[in-house]
Amino acid sequence: MIVSFNNVRKYYGSWPALEKVDLRLEEGEFVVISGPSGAGKTTLFRHVWMGDLPTTGTVEVVGFSSDGIRSGDLPLLRRKLGIVFQDFRLLPERTVFENVALPLQVTGTPPKAVRRRVFELLADMELSHRRNSFPNELSGGEQQRVAIARAMVAHPVLLLADEPTGNLDPEVSRKVIDLLVGINRAGTAVMLATHDPRQVPAGAARFVYLDGGRIVDPSYWDGYDQL
């Protein structure tokens, strides 16, 4: 088990963003988290990479527990995760190569090994020709692929993708989802948050529905009306 939420509650002031969340994720699994806007998907993800800590309950991720995690452990936890956001969050003043190389450079990987790994990954993602471009010179789909490359470069155990297709048109979105499915087939666990679970092929993933901060039974979920 690489992720485990045990009766997690999260309050922002008196506002409940997560209520009694229990969730487990096995190594190599693909979990899709769906739910309407404000359901708590981003909040749930922030708890996985421990950008937030639960108000009550515990979160355990790749051997680190939210109970008594020290700030010195946070980098060690995050090196085992790859994180992708809806708005890409690439550093605008760096080239594609530099953006993708960052997670390796912060751990002191020798430059030769960094080049080898980044070139290999950019080739896999059909971005080799773009390696010296800056993010603002790329299309949205290309930027998101660069962000995914950055998330995957250090061989994470778990890839977290919070609405990675939110800013992309349907055609490009499908390519990004296919990429995530491929990454999962190659052995990496994936957590994907999306408004629209129909993007993901039914057999490829386990589906979890959030509403008002609670995990709900999908058969009662009427969120499709809101899509």
Partner 1 sequence: MIHILQNALREGMLNIRSKLPTFLVTVLMVSLSFMVFDIFLLVSWNLEYALRSEQENVGIEVFLENRVDEAEALRLADLISGMEGVRSVYYVSPREAEAVFRADMPEQADMLELLGPGFHLPASIQVSLLLEYRTAEKVGTIARTISGMEGVADVMYGEEYLPGLTRAVSVLEKLVFLAGLVLAISLSLVVANTVRLAVAHRALTLEIMSIVGAPAWFIRLPFVGEGMVTGIAGSAGSLILTWAVSSMLSSTVPHRFLPGNWILLILALGAFSGAAGSWIGMRSGFRRPRR
Ligand X SMILES: Nc1ncnc2c1ncn2[C@@H]1O[C@H](COP(=O)(O)OP(=O)(O)OP(=O)(O)O)[C@@H](O)[C@H]1O
Binding to partner 1 in span 156-215, by CB under 8 A: none
Site size for partner 1 (CB under 8 A) = 32
Instruction: Transcribe the chain into DSSP letters.
Output: --EEEEEEEEEETTEEEEEEEEEEE-TT-EEEEE--TTSSHHHHHHHHTTSS--SEEEEEETTEESTT--TTTHHHHHTTEEEE-TT----TTS-HHHHHHHHHHTTT--HHHHHHHHHHHHHHTT-GGGTTS-GGGS-HHHHHHHHHHHHHTT--SEEEEESTTTTS-HHHHHHHHHHHHHHHHTT-EEEEEES-GGGS-GGG-EEEEEETTEEE-GGG--GGGG-
Pick one of partner 1, ligand X, Mg ion, none as the site partner of residue 39 (Cβ within 5 to 8 A by kind).
Answer: ligand X
Q: Does 150 bind partner 1 (CB under 8 A)?
A: yes
The piece of 34-42, 56-64, 67-75, 114-122 that touches Mg ion (CB under 5 A) is: 34-42
Under the binding rule (CB under 5 A), the answer on residue 34 touching Mg ion is no
Q: Which residue is nearest to Mg ion (CB)?
A: 42
Residue closer to ligand X by CB (options 35, 103) is: 35
Q: Does residue 42 interact with Mg ion by CB under 5 A?
A: yes
Minimum CB distance to ligand X smaller for 99 or for 165: 165
List residues near partner 1 by CB under 8 A. Answer: 49-55, 71-72, 74-79, 83, 89, 91, 93-94, 98, 102-103, 105-111, 150, 154
